[in-house]
């Protein structure tokens, strides 16, 4: 009996893009469910990594790639990067057919155009759509009682009293297991579920990091770099610090070598750093501009460090950083229908917002991620102080005013949602949805 398909936020996004564009490329890490989601809407499929047909497909792609595009539409071309020439073939077919929703392309790596002689970007023909591992709502662990969209759209949206069903122990397990669809199956034991992320890291280090561009890389060094990244998850650690960490175990690792491994992990959608938000409310030398270290899924950090739910239950300080990674993953997913993207704010005076969620219409939210109830007050004060800085700057400036945040949110690992008197909304991550 097959595993029941769990609806994804990406489902509606894919449907909408197929209505608007001739083709859609679904990008994201391996094992996140791209192919399965695409198959739900595709009318025909060609899998370029199928060992029974791969050789024939590759030969056809060399001679006449348009033959591989024949079939009912939308036609899914799975792992298209195996034959990069298909990109230009798809683009050309879209131009010739003058019809929407012709192709779905899926891929687990970023392809460099110059590297593979891709002639055209696909702009206006092929829409790019990012897909992540499953959020807590998609895995049926968040109640979904609080909608991110409605938080933005309804000023009188009442969240008071909604309750999360997730304990801290549940959140720890969810972070260790990750959002990998293969791990989210009721018939699997908990130990089996935890093995998926471990195997993911093993394969990335032993195989994928070298396959992506044909550069032979050392699996042991790859594992050391991922472990150092995991040690610095949700921080602004500089590459030089992580390089020193790696060099303590593998001497003579250069910054050029370190950077090449990081770039490969980014192209594999393993590393997913968060950029800084630098509003004009302080001197540019005060606001930190480095990237916040982040994985596409918190389970990668757990597996890279060799941790378990049991060890994290005894080390909630470490889990606090992993919890933030989990929150950012879910925020990226839930905000996709709103055109959202994430940044963070941090300055040299210790003022911070773990996440700044920007929507494509200019609205934004300042968000702090706090695992325990004791930290909520600190998080709320940080958010209000940033608001005060913006208001002060707007009063002093005769130029264009900086927009005030539309939402102030403290995401927690607690159970009860409520609105504070100062306007800050305290929301358990186990209540949130898109």
Q: For residue 119, give the CATH number of its domain.
A: 3.40.50.300
- For the cut 70, the answer to whether the pLDDT of residue 185 exceeds it is yes
Which of 187, 192, 172, 180 is closest to 308 using CA atoms?
A: 172
Taking residues 326-349, report their average pLDDT: 97
Q: Please check whether residue 224 lies inside any domain of the structure.
A: yes
Assess if residue 45 is contained within a domain: yes
Instruction: Determine the Cα–Cα distance for residues 257 and 289; give it in Å rounded to an integer.
Output: 23
Contact 65, 89 (CB under 8 A): yes
Q: What is the mean pLDDT of residues 381-409?
A: 92
Arithmetic mean of pLDDT, 53-76 = 93
166 in any annotated domain? yes
**124, 168: one domain:** no
Query: What mean pLDDT is predicted for residues 363-370?
Result: 98
Residue 191 reports pLDDT greater than 70: yes
User: Which domain-ending residue is among 106, 130, 154?
Assistant: 130
pLDDT of residue 401: 86
- Is the pLDDT reported for residue 312 higher than 50? yes
- Same-domain pairing of 24 and 108: yes
Domain-ending residue, one of 83, 104, 130:
130
Share of the chain above pLDDT 70, in %: 96
Which pLDDT score, from 0 to 100, does residue 396 have? 86
Q: Same domain, yes or no, for 117 and 170? A: no
Task: Show contacts of 196-204: CB within 8 Å, 24+ apart.
Answer: 196/31, 196/299, 197/297, 197/299, 197/300, 197/302, 197/303, 198/303, 200/30, 200/31, 200/299, 200/300, 200/303, 201/226, 201/300, 201/303, 201/304, 204/265, 204/268, 204/270
Q: How far is CA 347 from the centre of its chain?
A: 24
Per-residue confidence band for 285, with pLDDT thresholds at 50, 70 and 90: confident
State whether 199 and 334 are in the same domain: yes
85 closest CA partner among 108, 105, 71: 105
Cα distance between residue 431 and residue 303, in whole Å: 26
pLDDT bin (cut points 50, 70, 90) of residue 427 is very high
Residue 114 — very low, low, confident or very high, per pLDDT cuts 50/70/90?
very low
pLDDT at 399: 76
CA distances from residue 294 to 142, 321, 380 in whole angstroms, order as listed: 22, 10, 23
User: Do both 172 and 279 map to the same domain?
Assistant: yes
Query: Residue 124: pLDDT above 90?
Result: no
Residues 150 and 77 in one domain: no
Residue 115: pLDDT above 60?
no
pLDDT given for residue 86 in this prediction: 93
- Model confidence at 49, in pLDDT bands (50, 70, 90)? confident
Is the per-residue pLDDT at 246 higher than 80?
A: yes
Nearest to 296 by CA among 110, 132, 90, 59: 132
pLDDT digits (tens, 9 = 90+) for 204-243: 999 999 998 889 999 999 999 999 999 999 999 999 999 9
**Total Cβ atoms within 10 A of residue 306:** 11
Q: Report whether pLDDT(180) > 50.
A: yes
Q: Is the pLDDT of residue 78 over 50?
A: yes
Asked if residue 1 belongs to a domain, the reply is: no
**Do 71 and 170 reside in the same domain of the chain?**
no
88 pLDDT exceeds 50? yes
Residue 176 has pLDDT above 50, yes or no: yes
Joined together, the tokens standing for residue 160 give 């008071």
- pLDDT: is 284 or 104 the higher one? 104
pLDDT mean over 329-344: 97
CA 175 to each of CA 43, 182, 334: distance values in angstroms, whole numbers, following the listed order: 35, 15, 17
Expressed as residue numbers, the domain containing 48 is 9-130
Structural domain includes residue 80: yes
Instruction: For residue 89, give the nearest of 119, 57, 66, 108 by alpha carbon.
Output: 66
Tell the residue number behind the tokens 């591992």, with chain if given.
133
Please count the structural domains in the chain: 2
Report pLDDT for 337.
Answer: 96
Tell me how far apart the terminal alpha carbons of the chain are, to the nearest angstrom: 30
- Structure confidence at residue 109 as a pLDDT band (50, 70, 90): confident
- Model confidence at 135, pLDDT cuts 50, 70, 90, reads very high
Shared-domain flag, residues 270 and 125? no
Q: Which helix (H) or strand (E) holds 408?
A: strand 407-412
């Amino acid at each position: 009996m097959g595993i029941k398909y769990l609806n994804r936020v990406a489902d509606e996004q894919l449907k909408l893009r197929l209505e608007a564009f001739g083709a859609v490329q679904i990008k994201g890490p391996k094992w996140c469910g791209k192919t399965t989601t695409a198959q739900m809407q595709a009318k025909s499929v060609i899998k370029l990594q199928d060992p029974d047909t791969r050789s024939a497909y590759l030969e056809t792609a060399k001679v006449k790639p348009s033959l591989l595009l024949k079939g009912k539409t939308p036609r899914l071309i799975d792992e298209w990067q195996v034959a990069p020439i298909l990109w230009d073939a798809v683009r050309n077919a879209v131009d010739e057919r003058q019809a929407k929703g012709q192709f779905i392309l899926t891929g687990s790596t970023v392809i460099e155009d110059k590297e593979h002689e891709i002639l055209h970007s696909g702009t206006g023909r092929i829409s790019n759509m990012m897909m992540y591992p499953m959020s807590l709502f998609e895995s049926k662990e968040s109640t979904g009682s609080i909608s991110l969209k409605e938080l933005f759209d309804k000023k009188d949206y009442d969240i008071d009293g909604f309750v999360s069903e997730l304990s801290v122990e549940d959140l720890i397990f969810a972070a260790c297991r990750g959002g990998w669809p293969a791990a989210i199956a009721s018939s699997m034991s908990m130990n089996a579920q935890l093995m998926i992320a471990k195997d993911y890291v093993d394969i990335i280090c032993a195989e994928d990091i070298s396959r992506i561009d044909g550069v032979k890389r050392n699996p042991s060094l790859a594992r050391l770099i991922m472990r150092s990244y995991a040690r610095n998850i949700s921080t602004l650690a500089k590459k030089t610090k992580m390089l020193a960490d790696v060099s303590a175990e593998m001497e003579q690792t250069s910054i050029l070598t370190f950077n090449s491994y990081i770039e490969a992990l980014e192209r594999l959608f393993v590393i997913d750093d968060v950029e800084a938000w630098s509003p004009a409310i302080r001197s540019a030398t005060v606001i930190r501009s480095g990237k916040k270290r982040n994985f596409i899924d918190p389970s990668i950090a757990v597996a890279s460090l060799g941790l378990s739910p049991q060890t994290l239950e005894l080390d909630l300080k470490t889990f606090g950083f992993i919890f933030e990674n989990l929150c950012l993953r879910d925020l990226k997913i839930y905000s996709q229908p709103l055109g959202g993207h994430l940044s963070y704010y941090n300055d040299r005076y210790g003022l911070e917002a773990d996440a700044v969620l920007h929507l494509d219409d200019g609205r934004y939210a300042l968000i702090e991620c706090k695992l325990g109830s004791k930290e909520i007050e600190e998080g709320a004060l940080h958010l209000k102080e940033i608001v005060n800085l913006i208001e002060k700057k707007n009063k002093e400036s005769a130029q264009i005013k900086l927009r005030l945040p539309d939402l102030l949110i403290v995401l927690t690992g607690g159970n009860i949602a409520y609105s504070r008197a100062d306007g800050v909304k305290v929301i358990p991550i186990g209540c949130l949805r898109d």
